Amino acid sequence: TNEKPMKTMYLSDLAIMYFPNSTKHSAVTQLRRWIKLNPQLTNRLQELHYQPRQRALTPLQHAAILEYLGEPD
């Protein structure tokens, strides 16, 4: 496959992609809520050493969020 390797991504940048009409702070709060409400995603992120106050996502954490929540519109 021609997929480019994913880079580290800021949670706030990803949150804005999911919630483009929100402020950055509000988007991050909402994305964190979605993560918390998805037990499988929460477990997967814990396996990947995600910390709740973390600002930057590793490529594997980013991929897990996309896998469980789908691509942002």
Amino acid 4: pLDDT: 59
CA–CA separation, 69 and 72 (whole Å): 8
Q: Tens digit of pLDDT for each residue in 34-65?
A: 999 999 999 999 999 999 889 999 999 999 99
CA–CA separation, 73 and 57 (whole Å): 19
CA–CA separation, 13 and 20 (whole Å): 10
Question: What's the chain's average pLDDT?
Answer: 92
| SS3 of residue 56 by DSSP | strand
User: What pTM was estimated for this model as a whole?
Assistant: 0.87
User: How far, rounded to the nearest angstrom, does the alpha carbon of residue 66 sit from its chain's CA centroid?
Assistant: 7
Structure tokens at 63: 């991929």
